[in-house]
Amino acid sequence: MSDVFSLKGRRALVTGANTGIGQAIALALAGQGARVTCAGRRSCGETVAAIRATGGEAEEMILDFADPMAATHVFEGQGYSILVNNAGIIRRADSTDYPEADWDAVMDVNLKAVFFTCQAFAKALVAEGAPGAIVNIASLLSFQGGIRVPAYTAAKHGVAGLTKILCNEWAPHGITVNAIAPGYIATNNTEALREDPERARAILERIPAGRWGRPEDIGGTAAFLCSPAAAYVSGAVLNVDGGWLAR
């Protein structure tokens, strides 16, 4: 059982791996022995350097999911067996005023690109008769409504649904499909909330763990879901939120 969490010999692609949660996931996978392709619309050089500094294997790839089909030709014949769909954007406005352009941009990156990237990945594995693991990054707003983020909420509800249907179709091929729903994580995206004393206090008061999450909390969970230890876990949307949804 000593290798039950090992990813040695596996090749992974992590999208949005240049910073925050995506960077932590890439580091966690590499820490378990995977060779990681760190993909993003901007350079992931910092993540690659951090992995290599600890003796891991990594390279970067520029992928801009403003084109939802950006990754459709990435996987065939390349030996990938792990995919983590982390890249995402958010646009805020009252629902009465929400622009169509913002709706389309968010849905393209956060939902359409997730589906077609998963599709391309699974096609390659099914053709090779090889098993694999997909982890999609969902959100607390896969379960809740939020405020002033209608496209983001709709997309993250969609990610939860996609995770379940793709599990149903691909589990017979040995491909697990799961999602992680992060809670309030201390990243650049939540900096404004953490710097607002009233909002930060209200958030912390609801989190049973009594702290903001760390990116590595998500990284460790992703590594588990990609490992042999999670071979019988599929179709799950796993909350990593310090107990937020239980409150």
Torsion sign, CA atoms 189, 239, 165, 16: positive
Q: Are strands 57-62 and 132-137 parallel, antiparallel or unpaired?
A: unpaired
The CATH code for residues 11-186+216-239 is: 3.40.50.720
Q: How far apart are CA 201 and CA 196, in angstroms?
A: 8
- What DSSP character marks residue 95? T
Q: Are 178 and 160 in contact (CB under 8 A)?
A: no
Q: Which residue in 80, 152, 184, 232 is the catalytic one?
A: 152
- Position 193 scores a pLDDT of 83
Q: Is 98 a catalytic residue?
A: no
Q: How far apart are CA 180 and CA 221, in angstroms?
A: 8
Domain boundary assignment for the chain: 11-186+216-239
CB-based contacts of 227, cutoff 8 Å, min separation 6? 4, 5, 6, 7, 32
In sequence order, what E strands does the chain have? Answer: 11-15, 35-40, 57-62, 82-85, 132-137, 175-182, 237-240
Percent of the chain whose pLDDT exceeds 70: 99
Q: What is the mean pLDDT of residues 217-229?
A: 98
- Position 188 scores a pLDDT of 83
Is the predicted pLDDT of residue 2 greater than 80, yes or no? no
User: First and final CA of the chain: distance in angstroms?
Assistant: 35
Q: How far apart are CA 95 and CA 116, in angstroms?
A: 27
Q: pTM of the full predicted structure? A: 0.96
